[in-house]
Structure 1
Amino acid sequence: MSQSELVADEQAARAVVRHHSELSATLTGHVVRLVGAVDLGDTRQAWSCRDELVAWLHGELLPHASAEETALYPAAADLPAGRLLVEAMLGEHRAITALVIELNETTSPTVAAAAARALQAVFAVHLAKENEFVVPLLVNAEMVSLAALLDGMHDIVGTETGSSAGGCGGGSGGCGCGGDAAGAEADAPLLSIDPRLDVRDLPHGERHARVLAALDALPADAAMVLVAPHAPRPLLAEIDSHFAGQVTAEWLQNGPDVWQIRLHRLPVAA
């Protein structure tokens, strides 16, 4: 394997791990809201949170799992150390799918909250195995190109996709951002290898929380690109306050219709 191919594989590996962090953060946000509504005895809100979670699971998490089974797992299973590992990963996919079905079919808010917590726990263990075993196995395999396996697989690396939970409080919501300058149909060219968090389709009141949750889950020395319909200066001020200067912002696209900012979480000081 050439040096350029190795670099491409390492970049692809980082993109996978970063997208895993984004998925984990989004799932956690959904579960926290559902469990909170159940704890408060707010049945109407609990069912609304359940429905939002199920929609996200079908729209994001399950397609991600399916894409892994198509793009990554066959290559990993062909490696001497990968067959049993992949069998275990597929078993966890079946467990996740069963929990999604339970969430969708239960008539009890308490059962829904318990299933959501169980799903969160299984998914966390599953992602840890992928990050620590499956991805390194493919990167280190001499005859496998992880970058080639992931070419165009946006469900795995998260590029050119939006996310489905968030927080801004912009426009009339009072964050001082001045409202939306453009919708999600405006051109947002791919300007970085880092995963993108496109908040343009999210309600104003959800954007800030979504971005902060994604940054909380971002590993040290990793980055993501925020795609916004306006210059998110109040959000950047909130990020700086929340993370005490541990996140830097690089403006990649400064309007007039779309703004893209690369948010880099700095390495932890030794």
Structure 2
Amino acid sequence: MSVLTLASAPEEATALEGAEAHHARLAGELAGRVKLLLTAVDRDPSAAEKIHAGLVAFCDRSLLPHAAAEEAALYPVAHGMPEARLLIESLIGEHRRLTALVDALRAAPGPAGAAADARALQVLFEEHVAKENGLVLPLLAMTPEISLAALLADMHHRLANDTGNRGAQEDQDTEEGPDMREAQIEETGGCGGGCGCGGAEQTAVPELDVTEVPHALRHATVFGALDAVPAGTAMVLVAPHDPVPLLAQIEQRSPGAFAVEYLERGPETWRLRLSHR
């Protein structure tokens, strides 16, 4: 079915596509960070600690503000539609569960203890955005009296203001926020030989297998995983084909940041070591 059949006007179709793409980026980055955490817990506990901290920082920086902006900008309008009222109340309940899982991740004594909550967070968020993409957003887009484009613009404005306010607060605060901690982890790099950057056996490098990741989320999942790889460490990517277009996107996104080494070249599986310089 064409997106245009689900929208009352071309600009509404464009807004719908943009919202779905944004959801894909969020879900992909979350999936990448979670997958990397789960493999690092078994392969390299030292790297897992940094990945765990980065996952919490991502949730505080992107996931939770996104949920709050939805509740402020999108949900009130959808809740006013009789056919969507119960669904919106259910989605608000899911936001509370997402927040509780992030709090559990933050309070976990270590990466191993956080693994189950991280996986639960990923599953819940993917189910959550599937309902929004399949039900809420098309309903808003196809209703002539409602402008999804305007609602999304309001949501993005709220997100921008939230980001600015949090940045100003961090400048005034003497304590380090989660984003600052993640930045320092990436700046300091180094591993003492236990992260897979040359001082340990290759088996210590976290591995991300995207062969079963939905194609729409695959590139975003890799980007999310790479964002969780501190400088001076590496990640092994397992793909069902030679990921040449993906490598070009990685280079365009972060010029010169990652060195690529092929460990296996098909015919069914490609394995590449991506080293963060």
Interval of TM-score (by shorter of Structure 1 and Structure 2): 0.5 to 0.7
The residue aligned with 2:105 is 103
The residue aligned with 1:221 is none
- Shift, 1:111, TM fit: 2.4
Higher relative contact order (CA 8 A, sep 6+): 2
Structure 2 unaligned regions, length at least 5: 1-6, 164-178, 183-196, 198-219, 244-248, 267-277
**Within-5 A mapping of 1:226-265:** 228=253
Q: CA RMSD in A?
A: 4.2
- Shift, 1:108, TM fit: 4.2
- Shift, 1:95, TM fit: 0.5
Please say which of residues 119-128 and 148-157 is displaced more in the overlay.
148-157
1:7 pairs, out of 7, 10, 35, with 10
SS of equivalent residue, structure 1 residue 102: helix
Distance 2:230 2:41 in 1: 23
**Within-5 A mapping of 1:101-250:** 101-154=103-156, 228=253
The residue aligned with 1:70 is 72
- Shift, 1:44, TM fit: 2.3
**1:36-92 deviations in whole A, cap 9, x for unaligned?**
11122x332222111000000000001111111111100100111111010010011
Distance 1:75 1:56 in 2: 28
The residue aligned with 2:30 is 27
Report the CA distance shift for 1:45/1:91 in structure 2 as closer, same or farther (over 3 A).
Answer: same
- Shift, 1:33, TM fit: 1.2
Paired residue type of 2:83: A
Report the CA distance shift for 1:43/1:130 in structure 2 as closer, same or farther (over 3 A).
Answer: same
Identity of aligned residues (%): 39
- Shift, 1:5, TM fit: 6.8
**1:163-215 deviations in whole A, cap 9, x for unaligned?**
x99xxxxxxx9xxxxxxxxxxxxxxxxxxxxx9x9x99x977899999x9xxx
Distance 2:49 2:106 in 1: 10
Asked if 1 retains the 8 angstrom alpha-carbon contact of 2:73 and 2:152, the reply is: yes
Report the CA distance shift for 1:115/1:203 in structure 2 as closer, same or farther (over 3 A).
Answer: closer
Asked if 2 retains the 8 angstrom alpha-carbon contact of 1:47 and 1:109, the reply is: yes
Report the CA distance shift for 1:152/1:209 in structure 2 as closer, same or farther (over 3 A).
Answer: farther
Distance 1:155 1:61 in 2: 16
Distance 1:206 1:11 in 2: 39
> Where do 4+ consecutive residues of structure 1 move more than 4 Å?
155-158, 202-210, 226-232
Paired residue type of 1:13: L
The residue aligned with 2:216 is none
Paired residue type of 1:36: T
**1:208-240 deviations in whole A, cap 9, x for unaligned?**
999x9xxx9xxxxxxx9x9747599x99xx9xx
SS of equivalent residue, structure 1 residue 74: helix
- Shift, 1:110, TM fit: 2.5
The residue aligned with 1:183 is none
- Shift, 1:142, TM fit: 2.4
Distance 2:50 2:256 in 1: 31
Asked if 2 retains the 8 angstrom alpha-carbon contact of 1:34 and 1:46, the reply is: yes
Distance 2:154 2:134 in 1: 23
The residue aligned with 2:52 is 50
The residue aligned with 2:21 is 18
**1:89-123 deviations in whole A, cap 9, x for unaligned?**
00110010000000000114332000000000000
**1:113-139 deviations in whole A, cap 9, x for unaligned?**
000000000001001000000101101
TM-score by length of 2: 0.56
Structure 1 unaligned regions, length at least 5: 166-172, 174-194, 217-223, 243-270
